[in-house]
Amino acid sequence: MERVKLDIWVGIFVALGIIAMFYMATRVGNLTSNDVKETYEVKAYFENIGGLKPRAAVKASGVVVGRIGSIVFDPEAFHAVVKINIDERYSFPTDTFANIYTAGLLGEQYLSLEAGGDEVNLKAGDLIVHTQDAVVLEKLISQFLYNSAGEDDDKDKD
């Protein structure tokens, strides 16, 4: 009888653990955030999107205002086309800046919108012209190392 009770409690504990893991997986994967209702789609071109993924957050002043709809490569212009779904409750001027940032040192990447000062707002299908690519850590490190090596070579010549 004691063995049966123990087996039941172990089973309940394992089931709760599986449920908790499933919940965390959906939270990490942005699968449960449905606070964005009706949206309008705009697009932006980037030379380098880093690790930006579809369904990543689109933020303005730290507040989620939309999600990344899709990311495709344009083989004619050789850049990434990012389609952005913005909640229709929020409107942004046509001179808005779209920047790719990383949450924390090794966190997920998101798109940040910084509103400009134009009086005309973006509409569905418009293009965000002002963009800033993702900062790639490996590229920064290699530039630092290359510049450091160049400084050492200049000191040796003196």
Report the DSSP pairing between strands 130-132 and 97-102: parallel
Residues 6+ apart with CB under 8 A from 2: none
Residue 37 has pLDDT above 90, yes or no: no
Residue 35 has pLDDT above 70, yes or no: no
Using pLDDT thresholds of 50, 70 and 90, give the confidence band for residue 43: very high
Task: Classify residue 133: in a domain, yes or no.
Answer: yes
Q: Are residues 1 and 28 in the same domain?
A: yes
Q: Are residues 2 and 21 in the same domain?
A: yes
**pLDDT, position 13:** 93
Task: Classify residue 157: in a domain, yes or no.
Answer: no
State how many domains the chain has.
2
Q: Which H or E run contains 156?
A: helix 137-157
Mean pLDDT of 51-77: 93
Residues 6+ apart with CB under 8 A from 133: 46, 47, 48, 49, 50, 100
Q: Tens digits of per-residue pLDDT, 110-121?
A: 999 999 999 999
Task: Classify residue 150: in a domain, yes or no.
Answer: no
Q: Are residues 70 and 111 in the same domain?
A: yes
Share of the chain above pLDDT 70, in %: 86
How many Cα atoms are found within 13 Å in the side-chain-facing hemisphere of 115?
A: 15
Q: Are residues 63 and 134 in the same domain?
A: yes
- Please report the beta strands in the chain, taking only residues with DSSP state E, as ranges in sequence order: 39-46, 57-60, 63-74, 79-87, 97-102, 109-114, 127-128, 130-132
Mean pLDDT of 55-63: 92
Containing structural domain, residue 124? 39-142
Alpha-carbon distance 129 to 98, whole Å?
A: 8
Q: What pTM does this model have?
A: 0.68
**pLDDT, position 2:** 85
Alpha-carbon distance 101 to 3, whole Å?
A: 54
CB atoms < 10 A from the CB of 51, how many?
12
Q: Does residue 103 or residue 17 have the better pLDDT?
A: 17
Task: Classify residue 155: in a domain, yes or no.
Answer: no
